């Protein structure tokens, strides 16, 4: 097996430091190579194992990054450790920083109207050199071609899609069939986090790998979704015995 890949329940993660990953992504943006990035957490891995169509989509990704400490723990349990967690949110911010330095262009899709407007405003102030090619909220008919065409015509170097999974990856797969260049990445609720609509955990929680706990306290509605984590760990245990 490629040393730079780690398999967790049939999902093949790139085992790279965030810095190395960013360098590779940036290179691909500069040479205009089409790139699909999936940041996968345990929920995504479980969902992909349940829905083959979604698994097929994420298998087409050029990079799958370990988003969440659950994936890092699972890899350790399977005795194929992952170097570090690469959170989708952090990756988005780093890509924005790069884009600002290199005058790259972006397109933003997802979140509620007020959140995407705030995101646009904040990006314009924080990263004045980024060319914003367009944006749209995430509440539209997935079959609507107008929005897809708009995004395709924008020819952005980077498109961030925050529709939550599996929608964002489904949309990206379709989008990538129509463009010749650009990096596309699903960012979940990152626009909400970026604008402070949903607060990210204080540094101490992140450092202690307790970000999930903080989010649970802040958004108790996530509880049902989190029940999936023990199921994920059980599945990993089973896989470990099999190996």
**Considering beta carbons, is residue 142 or 234 the nearer one to ligand UDP?**
142
Q: How far is the CB of 102 from ligand UDP (least distance, A)?
A: 27
Asked, as a colleague might, if the bond just before 166 is cis with ω within 30 of 0, I would say yes
Our CB check for ligand UDP shows the closer of 8 and 116 to be 116
Q: How far apart are CA 176 and CA 131, in angstroms?
A: 20
- Give the nearer residue to ligand UDP in terms of CB position, either 89 or 127: 89
Shortest reach from residue 219's CB to ligand UDP, in Å: 8
Q: For ligand UDP, which is the closer residue by CB, 181 or 226?
A: 226
Do 172 and 161 meet the contact criterion of CB atoms below 8 Å apart? yes
Cβ at position 92, least distance to ligand UDP in Å: 11
Q: What is the smallest separation between the CB atom of 140 and ligand UDP, expressed in angstroms?
A: 8
The answer to whether the CB of 66 falls within 8 A of the CB of 21 is no
Q: Name, in order, each residue with C-beta under 8 angstroms of 15's C-beta and a sequence gap of 6 or more.
A: 3, 4, 5, 6, 82, 83
- DSSP class of residue 83 equals S
| Residue ranges that bind ligand UDP, judged by CB under 6 A | 110-112, 138-139, 162-165, 167, 188-189, 191-192
Ranked by CB distance to ligand UDP, the top (closest) residue is 138
61-81: buried (b, 16+ CB within 10 Å) or exposed (e) per residue? Answer: bbbbbbbbbbbbbbbeebebe
Task: Compute φ and ψ for 184, nearest 5 degrees.
Answer: -120, 135
Min. distance of Cβ 44 from ligand UDP in angstroms? Answer: 8
Instruction: Using the minimum distance from each CB to ligand UDP, give the nearer residue, 20 or 132.
Output: 132
- Within 8 A by CB and 6+ apart from 233, the residues are 70, 73, 74, 77
């Amino acid at each position: 097996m490629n040393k730079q890949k780690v398999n967790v329940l049939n999902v093949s993660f790139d085992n790279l430091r965030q810095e190395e990953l960013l360098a590779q992504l940036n290179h691909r943006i500069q040479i205009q190579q089409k790139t699909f990035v999936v940041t996968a957490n345990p929920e995504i891995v479980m969902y992909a194992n349940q829905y083959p169509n979604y698994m097929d989509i994420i298998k087409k990704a050029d990079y799958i990054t370990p988003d969440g400490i659950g994936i890092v723990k699972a890899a350790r349990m399977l005795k194929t450790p992952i170097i570090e967690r690469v959170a989708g949110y952090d990756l988005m911010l780093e890509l924005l920083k790069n884009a600002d330095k290199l005058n790259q262009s972006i397109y933003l899709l997802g979140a509620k109207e007020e959140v995407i407007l705030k995101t646009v405003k904040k990006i314009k102030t924080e990263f004045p050199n980024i060319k914003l090619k367009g944006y749209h909220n995430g509440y539209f008919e997935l079959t609507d071609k107008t929005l897809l065409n708009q995004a395709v015509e924008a020819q952005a170097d980077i498109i961030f899609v925050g529709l939550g999974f599996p929608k964002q990856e489904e949309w990206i797969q379709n989008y990538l069939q129509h463009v010749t260049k650009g990096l596309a990445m699903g960012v979940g609720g990152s626009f909400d986090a970026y604008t402070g609509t949903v607060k990210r955990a204080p540094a101490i929680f992140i450092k202690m790998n307790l970000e999930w706990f903080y989010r649970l306290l802040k958004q108790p509605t996530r509880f049902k979704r989190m029940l999936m984590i023990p199921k994920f760990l059980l599945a990993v245990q089973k896989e470990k015995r099999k190996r």
